Amino acid sequence: MSKTTLEQAFQKTLDQGDKIFVPYIMAGDGGLDVLPERIQFLEEAGATALELGIPFSDPVADGPTIQEAGLRALEEKVTLRKVLRKLKETKHDRTIPIILMTYMNPIYAYKIEDFINESVDSGVDGLIIPDLPMEEEDRITRYLSDKEIALIRLAALTSPIERLKKIAEKTEGFLYAVTVKGTTGAQVEFAETVGEYIKELKAMSSKPVLAGFGVSTPEQVRQLSQYGDGVVVGSKIVSSFYEEKRGEIVDLINASKK
């Protein structure tokens, strides 16, 4: 699959009058063998694409729920290499686009060019790298220029407007609107200004704008989706799988439908 696959999936969802829903799960939480079944479950439940986290020992953007999931995956000896191998083995069993979320250290350990090539072979459609500053993107983009993998940029609430404009112009796939200051995790409520912030980003970007970080209820899915094109939901999906409460996941996804 490809960057084009990702953008087509988003457009199809929006054309149906629905909002884009991207769940996040931690690869290897519960072991890597459960990954294909979880991907299938999310695809059948109506998710537009999947953000797949790679466990890492120092996850600066992750809140406690995702950190704990990462530690469980690390205890299972899950690595970036093993995740890509599993994705490659099962790529013909899925049609949902896959977005890898990883930090730079595992990519360096892999070797950047090898990582990009293996990602292509494994059917990865997009990348999110939270600790890759815009000023240092060249170390990744030089290997992506002839590949069909979208480099998805994050737009932080705290960034100056000129910086946000550059990020909005450069992003591929979608623009990830970070709706809280700090790490991921369930929010009780969002700042009153968050709607205006998402609308501003929509005016800057030709790509869909998805709100993420802290989205944990069907009401919040509906609330944030009305300003942009959809949502990314992480901590709540991770905890619902861990606690075997899959009905909650279905309710969240259904909240993105018209």
CATH code of residue 146: 3.20.20.70
Distance between CA atoms of residues 28 and 52, nearest Å: 10
Tokens of 159: 């960034």
Whether the CB-CB separation of 79 and 126 falls below 8 Å is answered with no
Edge-to-edge, what's the strand order for the sheet holding 209-212? 150-151, 126-128, 98-101, 50-53, 20-26, 230-233, 209-212, 175-178, 153-155
List beta partners, residue 151: 127
Chain centre distance of CA 119: 15
- pLDDT 10s per residue in the chain (258 long)? 566 899 999 999 999 999 999 999 999 999 999 999 999 999 999 999 999 999 988 777 678 899 999 999 989 999 999 999 999 999 999 999 999 999 999 999 999 999 999 999 999 999 999 999 999 999 999 999 999 999 999 998 888 999 999 999 999 999 999 987 655 555 555 666 889 999 999 999 999 999 998 899 999 999 999 999 999 999 999 999 999 999 999 999 999 998
For residue 232, what are the domain limits? 3-254
Active site residues: 51, 62
Reported as half-sphere exposure (CB side, CA atoms, 13 A), residue 40 has a value of 9
| Half-sphere exposure (Cβ direction) of 32: Cα atoms closer than 13 Å | 19
Q: At what angle do helices 161-170 and 194-204 cross, to 10 degrees?
A: 50
- The total number of structural domains that make up the chain: 1
How many other CB atoms are found less than 10 A from the CB of residue 188? 8
